[in-house]
Amino acid sequence: MRLADSFRSERFGAVRIHELQRVIELDSGAVANSGLPGLSGASRVITPDALRAIETQLVIVVPCMNESRSVIEGVLSGIPHDCLIVLVSNSDRGPVDRYEIEAQTVEQFCRLAGRSALTVHQRDPGVAAAFKAAGMDELIDDDGLVRAGKGEAMLVGMALAAMTGRQYVGYVDADNYVPGAVHEYCKAYAAGLHLAESPYSMVRISWHSKPKLREGRLFFSRRGRSSEVTNEWLNRFLAEYSHFGTEVIATGNAGEHAMSLALGLKLRLAGGFAVEPFEYVDLFEQFGGVLESAHPDVMASSVPVLQIETRNPHFHDNKGEEHVQGMRMQALNVLYHSAVTLPAVRQAILDFMVAQGVLEVGQQPPRERIYPPVGTLALDLLYDALDAEAQSFRQLDGRAAAGLPAAPPIDRHTIPV
Ligand SMILES: Nc1nc2c(ncn2[C@@H]2O[C@H](COP(=O)(O)OP(=O)(O)O)[C@@H](O)[C@H]2O)c(=O)[nH]1
Ligand SMILES: [Mg+2]
């Protein structure tokens, strides 16, 4: 893969946000920049070997709620072979058990492709018991189950990823109609994680276009309806500190993103659709140098955030205007309530929300749920309880399926504690 260089970045404490980098070639050949003059000037080649080295350490978590089987199959087909797949589902279990269909789909895929995967249902009582045992009561709702929500699914997925001992985790939505896009996202994660010269790195995707139907014709829209608002406010947050306007953040709502687990395990994840924008907010809170950091090791290093603009159209299920408005506001809620957001920005957020008709004058934006870092969980206890009690928890072993010696994705004896 060849990426355009990112020449500029904005710093906020230890956080270094790199300007959006385009994908120039999806496949740039086997050799790095082959010594030709001019070729290494404005772009970087990441060789297949370098990509593969990351992919063998990469877990791809697929949050899934009632998506159709053929779409899920397409998504699986796009995830590079060496990545480990983790499906976290919140699909209906009755009248038809949709999770069972999903688990079978993953199982069949793993058998055909000789791959390994983990699948689990978020609302399985055994999963709740495991998270309680591991020390995260905050995740449990009044019914005694893990709360519904995309952020919660991502948290569960990150915990499973950590148990595998791999070094990186990335996320891909299950409702993506273009397997080639999924493939490109994963390649871009690997490329970005390879380029980021820090153990604490994050890669976020900004897709180039999203196809829509307008009066019977295809129109390739450049930006999502929710991203524009989220990005604008995150940039205003930065500008209020630096006194310079900026457009550096282009990936506030990026559902497609990856990070090193060394970073991910320290992050506090937010619930629902606040999860993606809150990742930025939490980076600013924990590593921005405004509040005291609990991680001097990270402060002494740096936290690069690479943003990559991919080539495939982002074509996913349309979940309606109400959903989009909800997502926008969740981003503003977390920014409003952050201890590092300056007063002028908080006031402007209030004014904006009132003007949008989502708040009355004098009201405060609601608070989103913020969970403790996954790194605080006792992963060995989590595993034992999942293994004993979570009936939906499946470990699919591609090697055993191919008649080779068993190598389940999680080895109880090497779970990091
Ligand atoms: N496991 C799980 N997945 C969810 C939940 N909510 C949404 N998803 C999945 O997360 C992905 C993104 O959600 P979607 O509603 O498409 O949001 P958008 O693409 O950001 O507009 C999709 O694959 C959904 O199926 C949830 O509560 N639990
Ligand atoms: Mg979607």
Q: Any idea which ligand is nearest the CA of 224?
A: 1
> SS3 for 271-319, per residue?
CHHHHHHHHHHHHHHHHCCCCCCCCHHHHHCCEEEEEEEECCCCCECCC
**Can you state the angle between helices 321-337 and 275-287, rounded to 10 degrees?**
10
> What are the pocket residues of ligand 1 if the criterion is a CB atom closer than 6 Å to any ligand atom?
63-65, 67, 88-90, 122, 148-150, 153, 173-175, 255, 316-317, 319, 323
DSSP 125-155: HHHHHHHHHHT-GGGB-TTSSBPPSHHHHHH
Mean per-residue pLDDT pooled into runs of 10, the chain (417 residues): 93 98 93 60 91 98 97 98 98 97 96 96 98 98 97 98 98 97 98 96 93 88 80 97 96 95 98 96 98 96 97 86 78 97 97 93 94 98 98 93 86 88
Q: Are 253 and 281 in contact (CB under 8 A)?
A: no
Q: State how far Cα 240 lies from the chain centre.
A: 27
Asked if residues 416 and 379 have their Cβ atoms less than 8 Å apart, the reply is: yes
Q: Which helix (H) or strand (E) holds 242?
A: helix 225-242
pLDDT at 38: 56
Query: What is the atom index within ligand 1 of the atom nearest the CA of 67?
Result: 25
67 CA distance to ligand 2 middle (Å): 10
Structure tokens at 285: 């809170």
Return the H-helix or E-strand segment holding 19: none
**Residue 2 pairs with which residues in a beta bridge?**
25, 45
Ligand 1 atom nearest to 122, measured from its CA? 1
Q: Counting atoms of ligand 1 from 1, which one is nearest the CA of 156?
A: 1
3-class DSSP assignment, residue 1: coil
16: three-class secondary structure by DSSP: strand
Ligand nearest to the CA of 315: 2
Contact present, 134 and 378 (Cβ < 8 Å): yes
Up-side HSE of residue 298: CA atoms within 13 Å toward CB? 27
Instruction: Report which DSSP code applies to 270.
Output: B
Cα→Cα distances 62→145, 183, 254, Å: 20, 13, 14
Domains and CATH numbers, the chain: 2-209+218-407 (3.90.550.10)
The answer to whether the beta carbons of residues 186 and 172 sit under 8 Å apart is yes
For residue 64, which ligand has an atom nearest its CA?
A: 1
Q: Whole-prediction pTM value?
A: 0.96
pLDDT value at residue 328: 78
Residues 6+ apart with CB under 8 A from 216: none
Substitution site in 65, 205, 251, 256 for ligand 1 pocket (most atoms within 8 Å of beta carbon): 65
Locate 171 and state its tokens: 């996320």
Whole-number Å distance, alpha carbon 383 to ligand 1 midpoint, is 25
Which atom of ligand 1 has the smallest separation from the CA of 173?
A: 23
| Model pLDDT, residue 39 | 57
Residue 376 DSSP one-character state: G
Q: Residues of 226-259 as b/e, b for ≥16 C-beta within 10 angstroms?
A: bbebbbebbbbbbbebeeeebebbbbbbbbbbbb
Residue 270 Cα, ligand 2 centroid: separation in angstroms? 18
Give the Cα-Cα-Cα angle 334, 149, 64 (nearest 5 degrees): 130
39 neighbors 33 (Cβ within 8 angstroms): yes
Nearest to 415 by CA among 295, 286, 261: 261
